[in-house]
Structure 1
């Protein structure tokens, strides 16, 4: 990592009143509203993990799982954001986008950002209930893409639609025509109150495969990859990592449920995937789901809902939260004469304790029991137990 960047990160802990001075307003004209607001921020996550009963040799240890530096700019109805990650000694592009706020309840975004597919798929990693998203969210969700998104909402209804390029658009490193995707999302909350929420939603996507160079006839080859980690950031080898070739197009659907009453929440999603492939190749089907629930033990006593993105807000400081999750991911489809379309199966039961010290610092402790079925990337059908901890700093 660049020494200047490291010194900048460390300085956040020692410079007096930095938190209160990270937003700068620059007046650009005589009008009171004619000013640019620039905000600097970021986050750091320190992780540790221990693995038990594993046939595969897994590496206990510690890591800095996430380092972010973020710059935001606001000018009248325009917002811009640049966000880079520095985990694993690599510079990773996160969010780079421009937003035009049509009014208080609608906006248009252009740039590199997460598709609005599902809920957990685009939850901030800083305040997720568990160390990582559920395996099903990782495998069947969608990452950041370059594209255009429109969003509109009111107290009960949230709708969005977007058009995106494929995974190679940012680097533009492969030959052939870029693929594209169309994504839409709808959710409805008949209760619409802070103390009681009932969020019912559905998301859908049509996607051509991601380009993978040219074939012998100079036509674009298309693939899709589905992968998920061992719900940990310390062990890097992924138990699920499956690539489908000869892709024609893909359909993906997600149904969502989020319900709260006072200090209790319930969240679940079901994923369904269908891939059409070229002539003479079998289509591919896969799916998964997770369900999680939690309670605020002391401190904050009410889960609140952010209408602008339809996600739970982070609890207040000095709050202890307990959550449990069951997750199941199935990438096994079928065995055919020409190929085996089986990418592995994984399920886990996880328990989390989260303590929110204040709006900048939090502690996480997770226990997970993971069951790996046949065809996983480790090569063994096995059961793994792991204990993890995290210190998260958001500034």
Structure 2
């Protein structure tokens, strides 16, 4: 699906909403509160500008086995800069519109672009461009522990697409189902071809439950499933980066999936300042012609510890994490929050035979985060990753496709 409106339309939307707020203000007094940025309210009508900036420094050391070229690289880069608006018309209707600019030619694209209707306090209908599955994927990158969501997120490829979703929740559970299309940022499927012009179509669902929620301890359990049909678009590719948004991918299936089914499992245990989070996913990919189906697997485990006593803030009624409350922010004369983290990743594509890059990815990542106050974070991650790929050729001229990658990266981020 192609974005048919300029990103300037986001600014126009903000102007129109602000004008609407001004008109309403004739009947009610407008109040201003601080929620990371000024939020204007007039009765049940609210309006707020939102955004974030991530600036990165990345160093990478790539060591190839065989005839590949070894190299070292480093770059300073804009990971993302986002600007958007959000608000409500009353207790039942809400909206969000956000676009981003990132490194790589100053690429711009829509992020969340949603309209939500809440018929009851515990149910909602959402339409727009947004994410629907995987705990780490739907939790904002502002609140995830590591700098990047990691190869698990790359593997499941569950980014923002157009969805129509129905959600329900209780105090400690959530349930959601959705039908989905393609990303709003992708081009329309060509209409001048004999095969047709159908974009990717799918459906998905997610259920979460928190059996334990106390002041000291929280347990989160989740399961989700997804079905996708590529339509007349390109085959699905299953691939991973080296726990960074920077650099090349060395483990990849190539474009092989015509349809696929994914099942995902989530688990989190929080105890005071300790946190352990893990997810597992299996993708069964259907291939063209007589090629057999393949089962592809991935999982990660992340552990973290707040040296200064904070606890990751989990919201059981949403099934996701929110902003950590800093006990002693720098702005109040304190030292901020310090968090140490360790992560293990594994992605296995070896069930796909005959593809030189369909191997196994494993990695360890160590991280250190400093939060001077809740809206600013400095991060450092070091990843040692191994890309073990199959050797297809034989004899003296065989090429080994393994690649070892060491990555050190740092980030300065703020949001509002």
Does the pair score TM above 0.5? Answer: yes
Q: C-alpha distance in 1, partners of 2:186/2:88?
A: 24
Q: C-alpha distance in 1, partners of 2:400/2:319?
A: 39
Which residue number corresponds to residue 24 of structure 2?
none
2:350 to 332, 355, 361: 332
Q: Extract structure 1 runs of 4+ deviating beyond 6 A.
A: 17-20
Query: Bigger CA drift: 151-160 or 63-72?
Result: 151-160
Q: The residue matched to 1:126 in structure 2 has which SS?
A: coil
**What is the Cα deviation at residue 169 of structure 1?**
7.9
Q: C-alpha distance in 2, partners of 1:224/1:57?
A: 30
Q: C-alpha distance in 2, partners of 1:45/1:22?
A: 21
- TM-score normalized by the length of structure 2: 0.79
Which residue number corresponds to residue 254 of structure 1?
264
The yes-or-no answer on 1:68 pairing with 2:85 is: no
Is residue 374–residue 381 contact of structure 1 (8 Å, CA) maintained in 2? yes
Q: C-alpha distance in 2, partners of 1:107/1:186?
A: 15
Is residue 238–residue 252 contact of structure 2 (8 Å, CA) maintained in 1? yes
Q: Call closer, same or farther: CA 1:57–1:342 in 2, change over 3 Å.
A: closer
Q: C-alpha distance in 1, partners of 2:177/2:283?
A: 19
Q: C-alpha distance in 2, partners of 1:361/1:184?
A: 33
Q: C-alpha distance in 1, partners of 2:146/2:37?
A: 31
Query: Bigger CA drift: 317-326 or 193-202?
Result: 193-202
Which residue number corresponds to residue 374 of structure 2?
359
Query: Bigger CA drift: 135-144 or 362-371?
Result: 135-144
Q: C-alpha distance in 2, partners of 1:169/1:22?
A: 29
Which residue number corresponds to residue 369 of structure 1?
384
**What is the Cα deviation at residue 323 of structure 1?**
0.9
Q: CA RMSD in A?
A: 2.6
The yes-or-no answer on 1:321 pairing with 2:339 is: yes
Q: Call closer, same or farther: CA 1:167–1:315 in 2, change over 3 Å.
A: closer
Is residue 334–residue 342 contact of structure 1 (8 Å, CA) maintained in 2? no
The yes-or-no answer on 1:178 pairing with 2:189 is: no
Is residue 164–residue 182 contact of structure 1 (8 Å, CA) maintained in 2? yes
The yes-or-no answer on 1:87 pairing with 2:102 is: yes
Q: C-alpha distance in 2, partners of 1:250/1:264?
A: 36
Is residue 304–residue 339 contact of structure 2 (8 Å, CA) maintained in 1? yes
- TM-score normalized by the length of structure 1: 0.83
Which residue number corresponds to residue 242 of structure 1?
253
2:46 to 37, 46, 55: 37
**Structure 1 unpaired stretches of 5+:** 6-16, 213-221
